[in-house]
Structure 1
Amino acid sequence: MSQAYEETTDAGRPRRAPAVRDNSRHQWEKDRARQPRDARAGTGATERDTGLATDDLMFSARYRHTDATPELAEAFGVPAGTPLLERAYRTRHTGESAPLSLVTSYLRRDLIEANPQLLDESNEPWPGGTQSQLHTVGIEVDRVEEHVTARPPTPQEARDLDLPPGSPVLLLRKTSYDIHGRVVDVAFTTLPGDRTELRFTTRLERW
């Protein structure tokens, strides 16, 4: 049994060690974006966060063409109705029915359509993740901003994440900017509050 999933139970539920998500994951992903495919395919961000092996995980992706809502248009700095690609990701442990999180990511279609492979969900999981995908169309991510809030789950979220009563969800909104200051990815992740740890390390330049 992997270190992130224990066989002991608490009140009839699996006792799951928390996944640890820290902000150094973005530089880690960027460092891998230009590596050969075999190197990128060896592991991903989920394996890094959970300590699970690739064989321990079941992954699914669903793509949908959509148009920017007023909220997304404001986030991207584009007119409402701008064509977007919506990507819904679910990853779960092979021994569990609930995913580790609920992720929905949006990309501007005009920035990625030069590579048709980026519009096809059958190419997922993409070795190296989103930064590697963007690299194929000449986009380099310069910075990532993340905003985290918490609230009670909706009934659907409680069912999807198999949350025990009283557990909150953490809502993480991630905005990625390229080196030209454009917003190139807006992602919304819903994390189970009973088994997620957020960790932030800020390195300061020395005097």
Structure 2
Amino acid sequence: MAAKFDRIAADLRHRIESSELQPGDRLPSETALLEEYGVSLGTLRRALDLLEAEQHIERVHGRGTFVRARRTRLERSSARYQWEKNRVPLSEEERLSEGASERDTGLPLERFVFSARYEEAKADEDLADALGVAVGTPLLRRTYRTRVSDESAPFALVVSHLVVSHIEGNPRLMDETAEPWPGGTQHQLSTVGIEVERITDRVIARPATADEAQEFELTPGAPLLVDRKTTFSTDGRAVEVADNKWPADRMALSFETTLEKASR
């Protein structure tokens, strides 16, 4: 049986998600909520703490508790990578017609604000192990932030690492002004003869650090999804390691697996 604070949070969550309570609306006072739900102050505050961590509400000192503005949500599935690969042979005009962010959100290209920063880096032990190279191997570090134009916080922060020796055949791959690149990383790699065969994702959830909470405009300790994505070429090399971060209230991950008949 659900705890009392969970039931209160579920009821208020439903009222917010059904638009009974609109963004910017002030919640009833604690006194009114205590009377409505017939619980202790500690139980009520646990429910409000949960809704605050989920980014449904915001407490403003001296003013009250308010429904937060809804933020763009992404729907990301395992089919995304095949979709990206299918676009590799298309013309630049066709690749420009739709990008991954448009696909994940359903919003048009003009709604996005995108930034990319390229830096030289050296493989530390973690990246050397993930990429199968020696510690100290030259890397290209690419940091991407993407947000919706009428929202101040990004919905995704990606730090990608490529091995310089894999991509130096095309100097444009070292130039951040070429971003956003139509077709993304899979097309970039194709320009130096690398075909992607396999991608692995390892996703964990953890509380946001203070810096991450500031970056994504989250309540400190709010849940964050962190994905280590590793891309492998057809010859078995790890050719990219990308660390993706998404606020948990903005990302839905879905996976579909086709099963073979059970062996006997």
Of Structure 1 and Structure 2, the greater strand share is in: 1
Aligned length: 201
- CA distance in structure 1 between the partners assigned to 2:163 and 2:204 by the alignment: 25
Residues 168-190 of structure 1 show CA distances to partners (whole Å, capped at 9, x for unaligned) of 00000100000000000000001
1:24 to 1:138, Cα distance in 2 relative to 1, 3 A: same
Question: Residues 89-145 of structure 1: CA distance to partner in whole angstroms, max 9, x if unpaired?
Answer: 001000011001110000000000100000000000000000000000000000000
TM alignment of 1:92-171, pairs within 5 A:
92-164=147-219, 166-171=221-226
Within a 5 Å distance, the mapping from 1:52-67 to structure 2 comes to: 52-67=107-122
The answer on 1:68 being equivalent to 2:123 is yes
Range 183-192 or range 160-169, more displaced = 160-169
Larger displacement relative to structure 2 (169-178 or 157-166): 157-166
Q: Which residue of 2 aligns with 1:22?
A: 77
TM-score of the pair, normalised by structure 1 = 0.93
Aligned-CA RMSD value: 1.5
SS in structure 1 of the partner of residue 213 of structure 2: helix
Equivalence map 1:169-180=2 (5 Å): 169-180=224-235
Q: Which moved more, 1:189-198 or 1:175-184?
A: 189-198
More helix by share: 2
Structure 1 vs Structure 2: percent identity of aligned residues? 50
Q: Contact (CA 8 Å) 1:163, 1:194: kept in 2 or not?
A: no
- Using CA pairs under 8 Å that are at least 6 residues apart, name the structure with larger relative contact order, 1 or 2: 1
Unpaired runs of 5+ residues, structure 2, are 1-18, 24-56, 58-65
Which residues of structure 1 form unaligned runs of 5+?
1-5
Contact residue 209 and residue 220 of structure 2 kept, 8 A: no
Larger Rg: 2
Distance 1:182 1:156 in 2: 33
TM-score computed with the length of structure 2 as normaliser: 0.73
Q: CA deviation digits over 1:49-68, x for unaligned, max 9?
A: 11111000010000001110
Question: Is the 2:198–2:231 Cα contact (8 Å) retained in structure 1?
Answer: yes
Segments ≥4 residues shifted beyond 4 Å: none
**Counterpart residue identity of residue 84, structure 2:** E
